[in-house]
Amino acid sequence: MNNELLHHLEQRINEAVEEIGSLRKRIADLEMQNYELNEEKSELQNTLNQSKEQQSNWESSLSQMLSRLNQMDNKQ
């Protein structure tokens, strides 16, 4: 009886150790995925910021051109 109990406890401990190992691997995988997603997010944010800046520059240029056209129209 005592040996059966010890064997059962040993099995449970081994299963728990395997589960812990599996969970550690899963955590490592998720941490890597999180790192990669953060890198991708950063790249996308940079692209978005560049696009916003380019749009702002285009809007400013168009506004300046319209202003000049209006000035030319007013002089005539």
Amino acid symbol at 5? L
Q: How far apart are CA 67 and CA 60, in angstroms?
A: 10
Q: Which residues touch 42 (CB under 8 Å, ≥6 apart)?
A: none
Does 9 score more than 80 pLDDT?
yes
Longest CA pairwise span in the chain (Å): 110
Cα dihedral: 17, 20, 26, 27 (round 10):
-140
Q: What would the pLDDT profile of 19-66 be if each residue is shown by its tens digit?
A: 999 999 999 999 999 999 999 999 999 999 999 999 999 999 999 999
Quick one: which of 51, 52, 54, 74 has its CA closest to 66?
Answer: 74
